[in-house]
Structure 1
Amino acid sequence: MRIMRKSPLQRLRTSLLSQYVLIIVTALVFIPVLIPASFAASWAVNQMLIMSGQENYQLPYGSAYELEQMWHQQAKALDGASSKEINAKLTALKREFPDASLFWVDGDGLTQLQLPEQPVLPEKWSTGNTIAFMKAGINADPYTIVALIGGHEEIGQGFMVFELPRSYLTPQGRPSDTRFYGLFTALIFGVFILLSYLFFRDIRQRLLRLEAAMTRVGDNGLPAPTAEGRPDEIGRLEQAFNHMVEQLEEGRRREREEEDLRKNLIANLSHDLRTPLTVLGSHLYSIEKEPLSAQGRQSLSLMQTKLGDLDHLIDHLLSYNLLTSGRYALSLERQDVHRIVRESAAAWYPVWEKAQMDIDIDLPEEPLKWAVDTQGFRRVLDNLFQNIVRHAGSGKYVGIHAISWKGRTALVITDHGPGLHADSNAKGAGLGLAIIDLLLQEMELQLDTESSAGGTRFIIYPITNKFKAHDYDEPHIT
């Protein structure tokens, strides 16, 4: 799949960053417009409610202008009235204005009737007190009206005072005209938050879908392709992921083809080499019967040894090919491994004696039962014993013991050779060990190797406790 390259302008248009920046810029541009619009909408709604009669606003005592006119008229009407008449008039006005505070001061500056009583008022008023009181009442709360009794410009009969909290001079029950402003502002920011939430939720869902595609493995052991979305950063990531999956599938297909080709090549070569090797072996056998010099017999022996090595190598190749392709038939049965080891060791005993090896076999008499294939396990032992003879013969030692290893009874085969990492002219050792590993894996056994310049230990033990302890009939080995 070819990934199309986009121009910088196209990438900017399909970029997640540019999309979110566009949301923010739109919000910033519309804020100077939306705030006045919110005020206008709030005022319009208030006016509609007023005109529809759904809201009843009223001033309980009238406006400030009306109160001032009323108070001065009442003061003028008391021209020439006695103190008793003034008191009666103020008492009547108190009943009419129960939330107001009323009092009057006579011509001598003495405080008279107070409705209600106000301890802060002076009993005798001086010119300074009067001026200070009138100055303090300007634009103050309570709203204060001072009127001269009789309506004269001189303070002959005194003055009377009307005080009313300013809250009664605003429409009662009428909220501010901006009461809907907060609602519209919250609505605007709510829309911005909603758009941001939807924007990031979509990103999160797409990323989770991509993550699921990456972690979900199909029948072929590879992730499945995911559906490609919009051509933004995540879309390009989805496109790249699908391209990677295609490359993996193509690589897996080529790997299978190469593996099949390799297996067929090994099988064909192995079979094709068998015929000339057999012919060479028969001719070497015939030459061996002829009279030869000492040097000739030495060369003949060397050729026979190398021919045997080549035959073993071909046998290893065939076995490895069968094991890796799953065509090596094994029949697992619970058997006494100690018995199989003793039988194999007995077959190799003459070879070890001929190589002048010190043979140390110490296996318990109790049976050690594992689920193994008899021929396959014998093949493992033969490869290990052959490896000792060919590559560790200089150590002149072979040991076979049963030990406790990682909580399980294990079989250990030891040599005193130069170790697996030492240089050797013999070929096929690595392939032989690979065949051993594959055979043991099929029998659910594990091979641990400990190698040094002083020798090598091959330790064989069960991978898992497939059977219960009493089914093994194993001894306790320390």
Structure 2
Amino acid sequence: MKFFRFFKSLQAKYLLIIFIAIFVVQISLLISAFILFNTGVDTFEHDYAGVEDKWHQDAGDMENVSEEAVMAHFQKWKQAYPDAGMFWVNDNGQLSAELDSVEDLPAEWGAADTAQFIKDRYNGNPFTVVAFLGQEGNQGFIVLELPRAVMDNVTSDRIWIYSVTFLVLIVLFMMVSLIFFRQIRKRLLNLQQAMAIRDVDNLPVVTDVKKDDEIGELETAFNNMVNELRESREREQEEEQLRRELIANLSHDLRTPLTKMRALTDAITKENLSQDGHQAVQRLEGSIDSIDRLIENLMSYTLLTASKLNYQPEKTDVIRHVRSSVASWYPLFEQENFEIDVHLEPFETNDWQIDPLWMDRVLDNLLQNVIRYAKDGRYIGVFTETTSDYDAIIITDRGPGMDNKGPEKGAGIGLSIVDMMVRQMGLDWDVKSDERGTAVRIKKHRKQNVGASIDINDQW
């Protein structure tokens, strides 16, 4: 199985390309050599030694020497070397046949003429070969004259053909390799794009597996990961839905006994109670109210995270709205002996696009936190602030600050609700807190560059 998978791999494909390239190079060079060295009527070596040996061999093999036979021999060589010149001097020293000689030749040749001719042409130009005819060498001699430029050009042409052939093969190998790697790169880029694409659940999408090779295995692994992420997201959504339903049902179930407890406390207050009894009932009612608010916060937080809490923004006079909300808390602050300082100056534009019920919820959570965690300061201040960047509602206290670890600690749901509601209404907010107190600003920016800057302490 592994053996067959290897042949499907990219490594095997590239090794095959290299093997074919080497094989084609060898075959092509052999074919080129065969074509170059096996052209013409007979086999002629296109170099000096080869031409000289072949001329001597043909001269020695010639039988029945005659003018016609010699001229036929000359014509055969003329086909291979069109620029060549040839002539025959017979055994009587007479010039008997001539074909395109380089220069005028004497009609009669003596021993001295022959010796001088050989001496003049030795290593000269044209390249000259003198060969005796017949097996005995007694039929005179034939001469081949070939310009050296022709021989040099033949050699140069051969080198050029070899070079071009080799270069073409190299280019072909590079092109095949380039196509091979471009296909790999294209598939990797497709996989990269698939990783960057997100569906409606913000998960990557699966990609097509086109080939069973290393990249195909990578694509398959990526698809398996996407499927596992999708299954994990589905399980998470199911668990989240169960959690929300559990919280909703729990909130409903808890409100039923709280209602009964309120009814019982009302009945108890109608009885003849001592002063301590009345105080105990009041503390019990306060605890019931606190539990009710916690349940309400938990329910609101669950709905907010699920984006199911009804949001109905409208133009609202925020100054009047804040003043009305704070006024509803006056009796509670007076009961706790708070110094109440409210100073609300109008903004340039008092109309904010907010949900009045959501704003009430934000203010109630912040004011409730002041009563719960800043009671020692006995101070609550509500002001307005206007800068070049924003208009703001400020709620301040003189408590121990958010860094103080008091005996009561919350889960942070109250401020989490404030944060989500403020953001949803297009507002911003921040908190500054130290041992001298806490200041919360709810801002409406003149430019929409909102972004809450708060470090929510768990006691809030």
Q: Is the 8 A contact 1:39 1:178 kept in 2?
A: no
Deviates more, 1:390-399 or 1:356-365: 356-365
Q: Is the 8 A contact 2:339 2:378 kept in 1?
A: yes
- Kindly report which structure 2 residues correspond to 1:316-355, keeping only aligned pairs within 5 A, or say none: 316-355=297-336
2:360 paired residue among 363, 378, 382: 378
Distance (Å, rounded) in 2 between the aligned partners of 1:299 and 1:47: 131
Question: What amino acid sits opposite 2:233 in the alignment?
Answer: R
What do the CA deviations read for 1:366-388 (whole angstroms, capped 9, x no partner)?
Answer: 44221011121111111111111
Distance (Å, rounded) in 1 between the aligned partners of 2:172 and 2:252: 78
1:431 and 2:426 are equivalent in the alignment: no
**Residue 27 (structure 1) aligns with:** 21
Distance (Å, rounded) in 2 between the aligned partners of 1:391 and 1:136: 127
**Residue 59 (structure 1) aligns with:** 83
**Residue 427 (structure 2) aligns with:** 445
Q: Secondary structure at the match of 1:230?
A: coil
What RMSD in Å do the two structures reach over aligned CA positions? 4.1
Distance (Å, rounded) in 2 between the aligned partners of 1:203 and 1:464: 53
Distance (Å, rounded) in 2 between the aligned partners of 1:202 and 1:385: 66
**Residue 361 (structure 1) aligns with:** 342
Q: Is the 8 A contact 2:40 2:80 kept in 1?
A: no
Shift of 1:135: 12
What do the CA deviations read for 1:365-410 (whole angstroms, capped 9, x no partner)?
Answer: 3442210111211111111111111112223232223334682222
What do the CA deviations read for 1:199-241 (whole angstroms, capped 9, x no partner)?
Answer: 1111111112112211122233222211112222211211111
Q: Secondary structure at the match of 2:205?
A: coil
Alignment coverage as a number of residue pairs: 385
Shift of 1:64: 12
Q: Is the 8 A contact 2:341 2:381 kept in 1?
A: yes
Deviates more, 1:317-326 or 1:399-408: 399-408
| Matched-pair identity in % | 34
Q: Secondary structure at the match of 2:412?
A: helix
Question: What amino acid sits opposite 2:196 in the alignment?
Answer: T
1:395 and 2:395 are equivalent in the alignment: no
1:264 and 2:231 are equivalent in the alignment: no
Q: Is the 8 A contact 2:127 2:148 kept in 1?
A: no
**Residue 140 (structure 2) aligns with:** none
**Residue 215 (structure 1) aligns with:** 196
Q: Is the 8 A contact 1:445 1:462 kept in 2?
A: yes
- Kindly report which structure 2 residues correspond to 1:111-150, keeping only aligned pairs within 5 A, or say none: 140=123, 142-143=125-126
Q: Secondary structure at the match of 1:444?
A: coil
Q: Is the 8 A contact 2:391 2:445 kept in 1?
A: no
Q: Is the 8 A contact 1:207 1:234 kept in 2?
A: yes
Q: Is the 8 A contact 2:383 2:393 kept in 1?
A: yes
Q: Secondary structure at the match of 1:176?
A: helix
Question: What amino acid sits opposite 2:208 in the alignment?
Answer: A
- Kindly report which structure 2 residues correspond to 1:28-107, keeping only aligned pairs within 5 A, or say none: 28=22, 31-43=25-37, 58-59=82-83, 61-62=85-86, 74=105
Shift of 1:46: 8.0
Distance (Å, rounded) in 2 between the aligned partners of 1:297 and 1:436: 35
Question: What amino acid sits opposite 1:454 in the alignment?
Answer: R
What do the CA deviations read for 1:41-80 (whole angstroms, capped 9, x no partner)?
Answer: 45568889x9xxxx9952265589999x98999568599x
Q: Is the 8 A contact 2:85 2:102 kept in 1?
A: no
Change (3 A) 1:280 1:183: same
Distance (Å, rounded) in 1 between the aligned partners of 2:187 and 2:268: 78
1:313 paired residue among 284, 287, 294: 294
Shift of 1:30: 5.3
Change (3 A) 1:211 1:78: closer
Q: Is the 8 A contact 2:126 2:148 kept in 1?
A: no
What do the CA deviations read for 1:17-44 (whole angstroms, capped 9, x no partner)?
Answer: 4432443344345544443333224556
Q: Is the 8 A contact 1:42 1:179 kept in 2?
A: no
Deviates more, 1:352-361 or 1:379-388: 352-361
Distance (Å, rounded) in 2 between the aligned partners of 1:268 and 1:207: 50
Distance (Å, rounded) in 2 between the aligned partners of 1:189 and 1:412: 79
Shift of 1:411: 2.2
TM-score normalised by L of structure 2: 0.71
Q: Is the 8 A contact 1:46 1:177 kept in 2?
A: no
Q: Is the 8 A contact 2:389 2:446 kept in 1?
A: no
Deviates more, 1:407-416 or 1:378-387: 407-416
- The unaligned stretches of length 5 or more in structure 1 are 1-6, 80-133, 146-163, 468-478
1:16 and 2:10 are equivalent in the alignment: yes
Distance (Å, rounded) in 1 between the aligned partners of 2:331 and 2:211: 77
Distance (Å, rounded) in 2 between the aligned partners of 1:323 and 1:64: 116
Distance (Å, rounded) in 2 between the aligned partners of 1:170 and 1:38: 19
Distance (Å, rounded) in 2 between the aligned partners of 1:10 and 1:173: 51
